[in-house]
Structures are given as structure tokens and as C-alpha cells.
Amino acid sequence: MFCARCGEPLKAADAEPIDVDRPTGAGITLHVHRVLCQPDPLTSPVSWPEPTREG
């Protein structure tokens, strides 16, 4: 099992389940560390290069 916050491996004894309700369909249960962990750093998408005109 992996932590939904930091992505590190997680033992069942160290996991805290968090129920997430969804407006449509079934909800999900996320497992995170009981002790606050650092989240993965967010990255921004890579922009596409500008099209070039040949001719």
C-alpha cells in the first residue's frame, strides 16, 4: 500500500483511512500516514513549442 499524500510505501499499522465522497458514483478510501508527511512537489505541464512556418 502507498500513501496517497507522499507516495511512499505504507504499512497497515501506520495507515489512516480517509473516506472521500463523490457526487456521482461510489466514494473512495485513501490511505495516508498517521504522522503528517510531505506531499510530492507539484509540477507544471511542459508547453508545446511554437509552430514554425516553412516556405
pLDDT at 31: 94
Q: Residues 9-29: pLDDT tens digits?
A: 999 999 999 999 988 888 899
Give the per-residue pLDDT at 29. Answer: 93
- pTM for the model stands at 0.62
Q: Are 14 and 33 in contact (CB under 8 A)?
A: yes
Mean pLDDT of the chain: 85
Distance separating alpha carbons of residues 28 and 52, to the nearest angstrom: 46
Q: DSSP character for 16?
A: E
Q: Is the dihedral angle over the CA atoms 37, 42, 8, 18 positive or is it negative? A: positive
Amino acid identity for residue 11 in this structure: K
Residue 17 in grid coordinates = 483511512
